[in-house]
Structure 1
């Protein structure tokens, strides 16, 4: 049976008289001891070593790390918990490459900086060495630091808001920081492993983001009390103080239970800390790796329910994604999130987008302010496609006005078209998505770069021209459907595989074509017996995730058609592949109305939708441009929406009010462009 080795360090008093005494660090350790004692009956056996105050010298902490946590073996868990002062220290010149800023973060031990001893703090690069030694034996290492380890600790007196410059009114709590060391430690006073060339390149660190290990090969989890530019505080009555972060984290452990993951616990702890204190934001390292998606102090990995979490913070609800994550909400956009896989669906609308988060407003329900909610994106921005009509000296103004008037009356009850937005061609702030030429009184739809998309139409066919415009706009809206914050992003890969002569069944593992620098797979016709033969390939969908996923592959053609015939929807198991046409050959050939001659080409946009639950594909049917009723063939106001993608598909094509789906699974989309070319002879 696996074991849990814990080294708990709590330092209230320091040997150096100028280091301020703390009150809550020993209390923190006492609470952790109670937690670990309670786990002994249901989890791994906890072998705890505690160092308090004068016991926690620099040498003792290093020795205990190696001797006590060093007993852990493969499959065991090692916990290092530190509550005490944190600070900064300049680095010896020989270690300049460790920190570009010239400063490293430190843990202040009991005898650090004591007069005449020359004992340095415990540097973050030394912690790298200690953690790496333990983790290299197959041990799961967790580090919790309730201390300041930030550049902001250099300040004294009142804190200043970095954005407004105003004084922050602090609650009567004590920060766990001391002034930075005034001179670098002597190289001989540090761990000798730091000097070796191999250790310099291979060691790893705990702590804040700028000193942690490379996320690609993360060997531990670090839960820290604040960002690298902030201070960590303790609060409570004089004799019952605790670190604010310790309280938030341990309360979350007790409330969420032993199965809660590091990620889930840190969301809850951050919510508690930020609701209690300005400018202290707990951090999780490495936030983007699977290691944080396992239960606290070890256990089987558990894929998070969603990448998005909705929580209550200082009087409003917010989600942990903003503009930097791809959330967009311009004026008039209706962007929503919904509680993950809950029925009936409960949604919240995005009302303000910041860089790293978005403020949301629940719609018709009152969430529990003490709970965090897993949510998924349930409605995405679908801005009308912009179109410039006429505007050049060659265009006929009367015909242009007729087209604009038809667009303004193309919606229900002669309202403006919900799919199109007319803009001026000379509007330098907006590059139009589409253009309409009215040269000589003839109407032709063009792409933004002038490529013709339709044949010429007469002025009498102005409403036919608007139908063409709306059709193209629908097609573009579906192609642009994306969920930038899905945990399913890149979980399934689209692979186009060459077919060998005489082969009629898709190979499972043959290497696929690699897209070019522009992300496009190029396929070419071949000449045989004086005939041009289209390229024959297989299309695989490879599930690289650890979960079963429902996949639909659409073919968006350059004739502005959409169909799901390639892969109309199936579950793909973890590590397995699905194949278009049940593994049969796929011929990429030019449309019948396009001559097969050197230089001719066609483009297909293979759009993959991945979902946690099944959804019908009827919402995504769109016939070729010019097909009568192409967008309305499957239109039905009574359709039952089973998932988010079904609703998004109907909204993209028809823009009518639709009922919410019966569930809100997570979803993602991706596109692979295939260019089919007839080469020059």
Structure 2
């Protein structure tokens, strides 16, 4: 919505539900919904964003939370608990008070699950309902909020003329990770709850719910419905954390406090954006960020993806914070901003400061200075001016816009001994393997390396290293899941195996740093169009392509040998220099020769559009892999070949052999740091500090390739 007037802001309502405490949490079949630690924090951050950033009126916010304080009951009073009854009551209350045309934002962070259907006439005797899990579900007399009920509640909102956005940061399947640094928002086993529970719904009668569901789905449980908790939607937006067969993770992204991955990157994207984004544009960035850390979590976007985020029109939606104080007595000048941890700001975040009279903060050539956060509070922060861009006085009331997020270059490693307490007996390494000595050799090899460091027990690790049942070193994600396609295997006792392992970790770190490169908050973000438009088997460049749509456009997959078509369009008013990097399943990065001239970049004139055919393949012996195509666009010139990497089983060549010259501008300095051969930086984060010519952005698409 356009936030330019109090009248419009007052029309935003929110229903926020966060559940960390599940008591009792064990089901009759032995499965359990264990307590979580990031869901209530998710809700607090969303609440602060809505109140501070969008100035939502407090009386328009409805909230149910259950905090885990290590006691038999949550900290909140009973009427604020997210029970089934309270959730339905809150939905009804929002429907009652909101008026046609008002915005309604619904955010759920907690466990999702599956239960034996209470609607066999619709789904069959062995059918399942996808459900949101109340805090007291361990009690057999408690009820889930089921998919038919949620769909009916949302349809009531739509029928009243409300503009609805739904965010579900939960998963429908369950599972467990081995010694992971993240938690799953689902049952601890892949279970369907068969507990006999009350079947009466507080939403509507069973016949009304079934009729509503049939109206929405055309009478069948179609593929679109199986793809998420709700039917394919047209009248509202649904952003879900993952596909039904996947996990939704919560993780300590800042190394301290856990958040749901979807919620964290949703707020991060909105905080870093000064643009009127569509949900499709927002989703693209969230999907890329989540995939860079959790390959087995694919967010889903259904509904009005071309609608503006929290909007019903195409008027400008700008996000900025305000300069509250200016201390010119200090050198450098210090500024107090009205945003802090609650708004996604972190120490080291960089802001562009605008003159107070400038209201259009998309004008990147108008800002006065660059400031970096040095002291951080909950809802405010102090920043130091690190660069003066143009003459002018910084005044109270001036706008400050967060620039591109920093890139983490140094990754933390945890060395884990596999024991019967954290590993299945069938997966333990042979008894003759001295795990402690083998892991200590890795610690020695990693000592002094500029790309990776060992972390203490209380710190969050990016990578985990252990020894598997085949006596091989194994590198896992933070979830405890082994990285795929790490070849060749490294056996304990093999010559220089610890040194080779550290080189492998450095390779993965460089790959991940490139994958996470992002400059989301620029004018160019909307002006660069990047999408996969379809696939075709047996395509030859000599004939006109006739691409077929993907079976699942949100998670495209092809067979090896098929061709996909990448559409790139420049909708900017100036020429853009375009580069496409292929991040392949063998952990290589290469720059594609997209138009046949092998240049460092390809100029795209305003309005120019190209369809690039890409024949997909897999390295020998791979059964499947994931390829990422990352498209960069710059106003000026920049060389991205710093970022190229060979496949993991080949040594990384020194930069001197790549024919690269010294960096010419700040963007190339960043790229050179990411592609450095020795040490990227003495600090944990490398910042992109913008100047008036700050003109670059990047977007990426992902394709799963399956062996024929």
- The bucket for the TM-score relative to the shorter chain is 0.3 to 0.5
The structure with more radius of gyration: 1
**TM-score, L = length of structure 1:** 0.45
Q: Relative contact order: is structure 1 or structure 2 higher (C-alpha 8 Å, sep ≥ 6)?
A: 2
**TM-score, L = length of structure 2:** 0.43
